[in-house]
Structure formats: structure tokens, C-alpha cells
A = this chain, B = another copy of it.
Amino acid sequence: MFISELIPVKKALDIIKRSLKPTDVEEVPLEDAYRRVLAEDVESLLSSPPFDRSAMDGYAIKAEDTFGFSESNPAHLKIVDRIGAGQMSNVVVQSGEAVKIATGAPIPSGANAVVMEEYTVEDGNELQVEMSLPPGENVSPLGEDLKRGDKVLESGQILRPQDLAIIASSGYDSVKVFKKPKIGVIITGSELVSPRSELKGAEIINSNYYTVKALVESTLALPTLTHCVDNGEIVEEAVLQMLETHDAVITTGGTAISKGDVVVDVADKLGDVLIHGVAVRPGKPFGFGKIQGKPVFMLSGYPVATMVQFDVFVRQALEMIQGIQRELPVVRMKTGKKIASSLGRTDYIRAKTHGEHVSPIKISGSGIIRSMVESDSYVLIEENLEGIEDGEDCKVVMYDSLRL
């Protein structure tokens, strides 16, 4: 089945999204959970701080004992205990008494304020307090940060350093996350060889091997790569093998629309080709199908088209199957140049930003890797626009904001 009409990008994305299912959930030690995708809502098992806590180095006292006193007329108290962080006092503080206390230690029973060292004079067990304190001064009350039962995080977010801190403080040393999707990548092309300093005949270096591996890694998924010559049987075998142990398959090469090309033929034989050709530039010959219930993304073999197709069609899908919901990270900038496009086609134009301005870079074919290296962004021209005038606002997607 070959589609002759190019479908819009949005329609292609809808077809892809309907074909996805999320990866399984696994439990990992909290210390390995940075940048993993949370697969549960987290509720705190604990209150934090777990007790009224001193916010300063000083003396725990009854605030009432200081009322009306000052530097010129200090209150006189007696030190009855001394505790560091990690220690607690069994003393019940009475009127006229003080307990020396370190930052973070529990306020002893009977005390309701902490006077900072700076406002005291200590002499043996005698303490002068040179100010009047309100109750609660320098006390972090139990549960100020977290209360037992509070929902602290929601499923679907990528865990940041501070998120791990709040999970730990909630009482957990492990956490449920979505499994990283395993992605089989099949690079097709009889002419492709690994990098070497001299090339023979029609050999071309297989640069997509590195690009697609890194692109998959940039979504937090786990790639396995292989290379096939342009032979239907060999490609078929590779696809079937990858499907056995992977959540999705990506191919590059063999998707030309003018004729039945190897990869699309194989997908058509093994499953359903749902997309073949999208109104996007670069990257028109994009294919998508389902084989054995799993998504198969068929990308062009041309390096630039491969990258754009990945960013437009594959990236979001790999995010979604691991539970991540996010929009394309679009910012608005001013163009320094008129940019032409066609109604009905979405253009992803390689561009370079300078502050709040963006300029398309000079390019020729879609095989030009240098254009990918010299650019840092796409100018996105949606299908309802015929182009953008010089100096006009446009939508820009920074490459770096695509990476997870």
C-alpha cells in the first residue's frame, strides 16, 4: 500500500500517537533515578521537619522569659543542657532555663523559641539574653516543609535533583519509573561504510549510524543499531529480529516515494504502512507503519532529512511511550530575512540564532551535514503560512531544547 498524496504533519502525528502504548513500569533505587520518568504520584510518608527544629545555632528558651529585656537590661537564664545536630535533649525546659542547641536539632520540650548566639553572653552555665523574643522565633515547626500524606510529585515528570530530595524526605529510597524504551535502529544502504580515511568507488560513510544513535539517546531511550544492504530479505530479517526484543523500530534509507523502495515494501509485507509521504520539507519521504503491534518509523537516508524527520515524528513518540507529555518547545524570534514556503507544507528551516534574532543558514541539498552543524535551531513555518517577511516574528525550535 503506497500513499500517493502527501498528508499534513499534524495528521501524521495523530496517526502515530494513536499507535503507541506506554512502556512498563519498573522500580529503581532512588540514587539511580535522576532523569528517569516518574510513573506514580508520590505521597509523603513523613512530616518534614519531623519535629520542631532549631533554625539557628543558639539557645532554646521560653520566649516569655525574655519579654521586656534588652542589651542594656539582659534576662538571666541557666543553661541546663547542650545538644548538637543529631542529638536530642530529654530536659523539659522550665521558666528561667535554656538549652544550648545547634541548627537542625529538635527544640526541647517546654521551649518555644531560639535566641541566636550573637544576642547572648555565656559564662559557665549562666546565660544573658540581650533581646526580647516572640514565641516561635528561629523555630522551624514540624511539617513546615512537608506534611504526612501530602502529594509531592505527579506521575510523568522527569526527575530533577530537587525532586529526588523530596522523594527521599517523603520516606522512600526507591521509586517507580517508566522503563526506558528499547529502540532497534536499522540503517539501510549498500553504499554505506564505517568511517575511514579513504573511500573506494561508490562508498559513502555511514554517518547516520552515529546521528540516529545519539538522537535516540537524546530522548532517554536505549538504541541498538545495525546496518543492512538494500536487500528485501535481509531488511525483513533485521526488522523481525529487532521487533522481538525492542519497543519500536527506526529505519533509515529506502523510503523514496517514486517507487516501491526496500524498507517500505518490507513494512507493507509484514504489517500495515499507515503513512508514506508527508507535506514537510525537508523530509517528505517519511513512512510509518505498525508491525506486530509495534511502531516502525521509516526515515529517509539523507542525513538532514533523517534528523528533521526524527525531530518532527519520532522524538515526540519516544517521549510519549515513556510517559512524557510535552509540547514542541517553540520560542518566538524575529527573522533577519524573508523566508518563502508553500501553503499546505510545513517547513523546518535550519537556522542560527543571535540573541532574539534568527537567520536561515545558506544550504543546498538535504545531504549537507555541515548545515546541521552550523545551525542551532529550526525556523518552523506551518502549513497555513506562505512564508515569513523580513523582520517578522516567527516560530523557532532550538535544537538544544529538544534534547531531554
Contacts and interface: CB of A to CB of B under 8 A. Distances in A.
B369 A48 contact: yes
A30 B195 contact: yes
Interface stretch (A79-87, A125-133, A236-244): A79-87
A372 B162 contact: yes
Interface in A59-91: 83-88
Q: Count this chain's copies in the assembly.
A: 2
Contact of A31 (B51, B87, B144, B210): B210
B369 A166 contact: yes
A290 to B, nearest CB: 26
A320 to B, nearest CB: 20
Contact of A86 (B146, B159, B191): B191
A203 interface: yes
A104 interface: yes
B196 A173 contact: yes
A140 B368 CA distance: 10
Contacts of A189: 85-86, 104
B211 A104 contact: no
A370 B190 contact: no
A140 B365 contact: yes
Nearest to A332: B356
Interface stretch (A6-14, A212-220, A272-280): A212-220
Contact of A365 (B55, B196, B229): B55
Contacts of A144: 364-365, 368
Contacts of A225: 31
Nearest to A193: B86
Nearest to A170: B195
A161 B146 CA distance: 42
Nearest to A364: B144
Contacts of A124: none
Interface residues of A, number: 92
Contacts of A373: 152-153, 162-163, 165-166
Contact of A211 (B162, B208, B364, B370): B162
A346 B326 CA distance: 34
Contact of A165 (B88, B211, B218): B211
Interface in A343-394: 364-365, 367-370, 372-373
A204 B165 contact: no
Interface string A221-254: 0000100011000000000000000000000000
Nearest to A161: B214
Contacts of A167: 195, 210
Contacts of A399: 160
A18 interface: no
A150 B31 CA distance: 44
Nearest to A118: B258
22 contacts: A31-B209, A55-B365, A57-B258, A85-B190, A88-B201, A104-B191, A104-B367, A117-B258, A144-B365, A146-B369, A146-B370, A152-B370, A153-B373, A161-B218, A162-B303, A163-B373, A166-B370, A166-B373, A167-B195, A171-B196, A171-B205, A172-B195
